[in-house]
Chain A
Amino acid sequence: MHISEGILSGSVLVAGWAGSIAGISYGLKKTEPDKIVRTALISSAFFLASLVNVRFGPSSTHLTLIAPMGLILGQAVFPAVFVALLLQALLFHFGGLAVLGANTFAMAFPALMTHIMFGRAVREGTGKFRVMVFSFMAGALAVIMGALIAGALLGLTDRNFLGAVKLLVIAHIPLAVIEGAVTLFLVSWLKRVMPEFLS
């Protein structure tokens, strides 16, 4: 889901930075100093999980884990995603600095929406089946939303990108199903073992 350097236009890059700075400022304001350490260590665990190459037949994929990040970190997700992407750019050379704002927004906004839309239902839901359905939907929708935002940024750069954007969204559907399943298993496990972790 990373957009590389050199693709987006100047105005879209600036808009991406503006959206991200707003989200990061809000997230930092809402995060108490004591919670910074927890946020950092949880986002480092997510960072590592996203590095794991999961094999599927002849190909393999890296999971984004946007939805679990949103469900667990809540409003602190914007700064956490920003830091993770900054470290990915520095350690792996994925993405870049100019496009960091747009990439942060494309990944953190769906995570925040997941927290707003499904957070309460997943945390306080009592029915096992209900929680499983909401968790799956959170995982799958976050990926599709991320692909749509990345597509919108490309479309705003040049309308001719729309053909490639359709392909991008279609290519993310299998990943959305996989992420939905992983979110479902992860939330079910946490609800069983340590329910307070989700709050």
Chain B
Amino acid sequence: MTTDAYTLEFPRENVPASTSRSPAVVMLCSVSYALAVSVSDSLPALVLASVLPLMLVVSGKFTHSHLLKLNALNAVMTLTLALTWPEFRGGLIMGMLIALRMNMIYVAFSSFVLPLGTSGVYSALVSLGIPEKLRVLILLTLRGIHIMHGRFSAALVSVRLRAPGLRGLAKLRVFAYITASVLIQSSERSENMVRSVKCRGGFRGFMQSESVGLSSRDAAMIAGFMFYVAGVMVLNYA
């Protein structure tokens, strides 16, 4: 266990695996599955909905250590619901139902959406007709995270070396000052970036990613998913 006043937890993005499926189709199918699972509360619907994540786990397409952490949190959440629900048993059942749904959605999301990577998700946003301003914002925020990460880490290391025993309000004050100075640096950097973008001809042509057309595999995936999700919904409301 670390004893540092601050630690910056920064993820390393997975290199997206090449996929022959359209990212937009993959995202749409995942979201429709998540919505169908979220509204399911009957046993037959949940059994049918659990077929997909079970197949993904059995086929070895899902390998993620986060599931353990997720279920540790689920156990706390279930206990909290059991204690705060009007009836203990009702809360326990609701907690377990939520945990089951969360696991199913998580397995599907991790198996389908996460392998797309940010570039795949970006390509999906292009295909789905998301406004250009929002897409530029996503790209530049991601770029900004990588740029500012170095500066933020350096500031935190500096604090660790100069004042290792920070406590109480002093710790919050130093954190606020670091954040404020990184914000000013980010603003200055953005002015340079705007000048650079303008020199290159503005945002026109900034986007290089193009909408990916639908293949027969994509059409089959949409049809299969719609049939599956419709089955879950029919069983839920039957």
* A interface, CB within 8 angstroms of B: 4-10, 13, 24, 28, 31, 33-34, 36-49, 51-55, 63, 65, 68, 72, 79-80, 82-84, 86-87, 90-93, 96-99, 158, 160-161, 163-164, 166-167, 178, 181-186, 189-190, 193-194, 197
Contacts and interface: CB of A to CB of B under 8 A. Distances in A.
Interface stretch (B54-62, B105-113, B207-215, B217-225): B105-113
B183 to A, nearest CB: 5
B174 to A, nearest CB: 9
Contact of B177 (A46, A91, A185): A185
Contacts of A52: 6-8, 152, 156, 175
Given A52-B7, A160-B85, A182-B175, 4 more contacts: A41-B147, A44-B141, A83-B134, A185-B172
Interface residues of B, number: 84
Contacts, number: 235
A167 B137 contact: no
Contact of A48 (B8, B102, B138): B8
Contacts of A167: 80, 84
A5 B38 contact: yes
Given A6-B101, A41-B193, A87 B142 contact: yes
Contacts of B101: 5-7
A contact face: mostly helix, strand, loop, or mixed:
helix
Given A97-B34, A197-B183, A186 B176 contact: yes
Contact of A33 (B10, B141, B203): B203
Contact of A43 (B80, B136, B141): B141
A41 B13 contact: no
B133 A36 contact: yes
B114 A90 contact: yes
Contacts of A79: 133-134, 137
Interface of B: 3-11, 13, 27, 30-31, 34-35, 37-39, 66, 80-81, 83-86, 90-91, 94, 98-102, 104-106, 109-110, 113-114, 117-118, 121, 131, 133-134, 136-145, 147-149, 152, 156, 169, 171-173, 175-180, 182-187, 189-191, 193-194, 197, 203
Given A42-B190, A189-B176, A97 B94 contact: no
Contact of B148 (A48, A178, A182): A48
Contact of B105 (A49, A83, A98, A183): A98
B34 A158 contact: no
A6 B148 contact: no
A29 B110 CA distance: 33
A4 B102 contact: yes
A5 B149 contact: no
B8 A6 contact: no
Given A28-B134, A49-B182, A97-B27, A41 B190 contact: yes
